[in-house]
Structure 1
Amino acid sequence: MINRKKSPAIHDAVEFDLKLKACDHFTLDNGVHVYAVDAGAQEVMQLEWVFYAGNCFEDQNIVAATTNFLLKNGTSTKSAFEINEHFEFYGAYLNRHCYNETATVTLHCLTKHLPVLLPEVAALFTSAEIPEEELAIYKQNQKQRLEVNLKKCDFVANRLIDEYLFGLEHPYGKYSSTKDYDALERDQLKAFYKRFYTEGKCIMFVAGKLPANLQEQLNNAFGQLPFRQSGLPVITYPGTPATEKKYNIINDNDGVQGAIRMAIPFPNRHHPDFIKVQVLNNIFGGFFGSRLMSNIREDKGYTYGIHSYLQNHIHQSAWMISTEAGRDVCAATIEEVYKEMLRLTNEPVEKDELDLVRNYMMGSILGDLDGPFQIIGRWKNYVLNNLTDAYFYNSLETIRSITAEELQELAKKYLVPETFYELVVV
């Protein structure tokens, strides 16, 4: 019996023996790979179809994103209204997103309703019509939304910093304009849909309380579709980064706040420094107790929040610092960011601060493993980046063992003020 008069022992998170739950893998009749995590107490599921149909495959800007959005806006047998009504009737939620290399369709539902929902999802991949009237509504809405967003300094800053980092022709550096929406034609979208969805490459990720006959159900709905597992176009990443490093953009003459972005290009997850730099990044600006937050928010009061992070891209990444500050203190904010960089290069991190960050990162990983949807999300990240579970355990070991001296050397290597792109949009 538990002794309620005695408080439980306190353990550091770094002492936790974290394990990544194994992911089952099987292949449908047509070669589609399925990754599944069977866990959870509730009879709910998440299914995600990942297509190699991102913007790096398009010949014209925003074709990929538009096609992805309009997947559920009408098929040969159902209107957009009827499709939404069907999923809502069964308490299911269907969403879609488009990224640089991939595009996704995600279904959340009760396990017992899977047999009546899977055929409707399959229809989206084989008989989506992309009706002209739905396309017209989409174009109008997107142009109006864009016009509103372009008045926001943070929105403009996010667009421009990626352009400076990667170049406007690079998939990571592209952004939309009203002219791009005006140029969209239904025939272009239908051709993209046929090539990259109906006959595209698909990977499935499934998690939750899975039915015993899951493979049979998926095979019946998707195992005979003409998905292909090879023959995709070779992805190219054209584009030239900007030669200038410092930019000041006037977006709102009457605005009182400016958006600040500072960034450098960075390798992807396969680089040996990537995991180590994640530790350094957390010390620098990666969580609420970071140096940037302590200095610029708590001490100086220049901003409500400032964060640094590594971008989540497959091909290459970038180390980004992002904040919004008062127009009159933007220059001072940037100066303080550089001061924190120099502190990390000139002084080793003290043990107490490093221990705090170790525990924060281990606790965050523990939270990310809380539930089947979070677990399959981590597996999805590994699969799409051509990694294995060894990456997970290497990350844990790095967090536990990295030294202050190693972090200081990394800071000297990467936190060099002269190499950073610097953008202020006011």
Structure 2
Amino acid sequence: MLNRTIAPPIIDPVAFDIKLPAYKKYILTNGIEVFAVDMGTEDTLMVNWVFAAGNWFENKKAVAAATNFLLKNGTSKRSAFDINEHFEFYGSYLNRACYNETSEITLHTLSKHINELLPVVAELVQDSVFPQEELNIYAQNAQQRLKVNLQKSEFVAGRLIDAYLFGDNHPYGKYLNLGDYAAVTREDVVSFYNDYYKEGRCVIFVAGKLPKDLIESLEKNFGKLPLKPRSLVAETIQHPLQPAAEKKHYIVNDPDGVQSAIRIARPFPNRKHPDFQKVLVLNNVLGGFFGSRLMGNIREDKGYTYGIYSYLMNFTSESGWMVSTEAGRDVTAETVKEIYIELQQLRDEEIDDEELMMTRNSMIGTILGDLDGPFQVIGRWKNMILNNVDDDYFERGVQIIKTITAKELHELANKYLAPEEFYELVVI
């Protein structure tokens, strides 16, 4: 019998042998890949269709996002109301999202209802009609949201720093103005839909408690469609980087504002670079979690901000290393100064064993939490598959966290944390 008067032993997360549960891969008749993770005890299911249809492929701003959003807003057989009613009747949730390289349709449902829902998703992919009135409503709502967001310094800072890093004509850096929504025509949307959805490149991810006939149902509804398998299509369409010549920018968005948005960032190689996973550890020391140096100095010690973080951008072709925070207007200059001090200290001195162990435990603990369920597991696989890294990438990353030395981190800091490499943006 368990003796509850004796505390159980404390085991550091780094002692765990973490394995990413495997997926099964299927290929439909038309070549579409299906990556499936069958796990969990609840009768729930997620199906995620990923298309090569992000803003990387559009010739006019806002077309990719508008097309993706309006997929649910009417087919030749169903109105937008009918479509939403159908999914709600079965207690399911259908969402869509548009990113830089990809766009997605995601279905969450009880496993037993999947055969009633897949045909309607296929209908959206092949028979969306994009009514003009729905496009008008979308443009009006998007313009209103943008007007509101443009009053927020953190929103302005988020879009401008990307433009400085990559160029405002690059898919990673371009941002939308009010007139861009009004300029999108139904013909633009239909053309993009025909090229990148009806006959587009697609990959499917499924996770949860999988019904026995799921692959058969996917084959029936999607295996005969004129879709094409995924490929490195983004590499066939080149978008040259055009970073800003000036690296320091100070913008007054609200003359009466009491808080500033601060973004300090540098370009960085994508996750295929041999230093990427190692720098993830260095980033955690700098600002990747609540116990990081930036948080300890600027939040806990100085009290300049409620939170400050650093992270590597999750882009496929290029990446960036970002420090992000909001601070009081009167302490903005001091906040920026302290950020550079932390960068310099990482370059000057090796971190000690205690801090390195805390960082290791934090990162491994985060990974353990992220693998708590089938949807999180397929999310890890999806990120690796879409970035075209090998299946050992996850385990290599875990080993790097466990074994990287203070000396290696010091060398990386001197390689990548030189202040002259960073773009600095303050928006009041």
Note if contact 1:20-1:389 (Cα within 8 Å) is conserved in structure 2. Answer: no
**Range 399-408 or range 224-233, more displaced:** 224-233
| Aligned ranges 1:188-227 → 2 under 5 Å | 188-227=188-227
From 360, 371, 377, the equivalent of 1:375 is 377
- 3-state secondary structure, aligned to 2:274: coil
Residue 164 of structure 2 corresponds to: 164
Give the Å deviation of 1:325. Answer: 0.5
- 3-state secondary structure, aligned to 2:123: helix
- What number of residue pairs does the alignment pair up? 426
Note if contact 1:53-1:197 (Cα within 8 Å) is conserved in structure 2. Answer: yes
Is 1:276–2:278 an aligned residue pair? Answer: yes
Question: What is the alpha-carbon distance in structure 2 between the residues aligned to residue 389 and residue 215 of structure 1?
Answer: 22
Question: What is the alpha-carbon distance in structure 2 between the residues aligned to residue 230 and residue 97 of structure 1?
Answer: 18
- 3-state secondary structure, aligned to 1:389: coil
Residue 151 of structure 2 corresponds to: 151
Superposed CA RMSD in Å reads 1.0
| Aligned ranges 1:64-75 → 2 under 5 Å | 64-75=64-75
Residue 254 of structure 2 corresponds to: 252
Give the Å deviation of 1:230. Answer: 6.9
Question: What is the alpha-carbon distance in structure 2 between the residues aligned to residue 320 and residue 173 of structure 1?
Answer: 14
Note if contact 2:208-2:374 (Cα within 8 Å) is conserved in structure 1. Answer: yes
Q: For 1:29-67, what per-residue CA distance to the aligned partner results, in whole angstroms no more than 9, with x for missing partners?
A: 111000000000000000000000000100101100110
Residue 127 of structure 1 corresponds to: 127
Question: What is the alpha-carbon distance in structure 1 between the residues aligned to residue 348 and residue 44 of structure 2?
Answer: 51
Give the Å deviation of 1:3. Answer: 2.4
TM-score of the two chains, using structure 1 as the length reference: 0.99
| Aligned ranges 1:270-349 → 2 under 5 Å | 270-349=272-351
Question: What is the alpha-carbon distance in structure 1 between the residues aligned to residue 66 and residue 182 of structure 2?
Answer: 12
Note if contact 1:168-1:239 (Cα within 8 Å) is conserved in structure 2. Answer: no
Q: For 1:62-119, what per-residue CA distance to the aligned partner results, in whole angstroms no more than 9, with x for missing partners?
A: 1001100000011110110110010001000000000111000000000000010000
Question: What is the alpha-carbon distance in structure 1 between the residues aligned to residue 9 and residue 229 of structure 2?
Answer: 52
Instruction: State the 4+ residue runs in structure 1 displaced beyond 4 angstroms.
Output: 230-233
Give the Å deviation of 1:5. Answer: 2.5
Structure 2 vs 1, CA of residues 375 and 176 (structure 1 numbering), >3 Å: closer, same or farther? Answer: same
Question: What is the alpha-carbon distance in structure 2 between the residues aligned to residue 134 and residue 273 of structure 1?
Answer: 46
Question: What is the alpha-carbon distance in structure 2 between the residues aligned to residue 143 and residue 5 of structure 1?
Answer: 62
Give the Å deviation of 1:197. Answer: 0.2
Question: What is the alpha-carbon distance in structure 1 between the residues aligned to residue 145 and residue 5 of structure 2?
Answer: 59
**Range 362-371 or range 226-235, more displaced:** 226-235
Question: What is the alpha-carbon distance in structure 1 between the residues aligned to residue 312 and residue 106 of structure 2?
Answer: 25
1:349 aligned partner, one-letter code:
I
Structure 1 unaligned segments of length 5 or more: list them.
none
2:53 aligned partner, one-letter code:
A
Residue 76 of structure 1 corresponds to: 76
Give the Å deviation of 1:388. Answer: 2.4
Note if contact 1:310-1:319 (Cα within 8 Å) is conserved in structure 2. Answer: yes
Q: For 1:189-222, what per-residue CA distance to the aligned partner results, in whole angstroms no more than 9, with x for missing partners?
A: 0010011000001100000000111111111111
Residue 58 of structure 1 corresponds to: 58
Note if contact 1:268-1:313 (Cα within 8 Å) is conserved in structure 2. Answer: yes
Give the Å deviation of 1:343. Answer: 0.8
Question: What is the alpha-carbon distance in structure 1 between the residues aligned to residue 272 and residue 241 of structure 2?
Answer: 22
Residue 391 of structure 1 corresponds to: 393
From 233, 236, 239, the equivalent of 1:237 is 239
**Range 384-393 or range 155-164, more displaced:** 384-393
From 409, 415, 420, the equivalent of 1:418 is 420
Question: What is the alpha-carbon distance in structure 1 between the residues aligned to residue 140 and residue 263 of structure 2?
Answer: 30
Is 1:45–2:45 an aligned residue pair? Answer: yes
Give the Å deviation of 1:389. Answer: 2.5
Question: What is the alpha-carbon distance in structure 1 between the residues aligned to residue 238 and residue 170 of structure 2?
Answer: 8
- 3-state secondary structure, aligned to 1:406: helix
1:120 aligned partner, one-letter code:
V
2:399 aligned partner, one-letter code:
E
- 3-state secondary structure, aligned to 2:228: coil
1:158 aligned partner, one-letter code:
G
Residue 16 of structure 1 corresponds to: 16
1:142 aligned partner, one-letter code:
A
- 3-state secondary structure, aligned to 2:320: strand
2:55 aligned partner, one-letter code:
N
Give the Å deviation of 1:121. Answer: 0.4
Question: What is the alpha-carbon distance in structure 2 between the residues aligned to residue 155 and residue 230 of structure 1?
Answer: 33
Give the Å deviation of 1:155. Answer: 0.3
TM-score of the two chains, using structure 2 as the length reference: 0.98
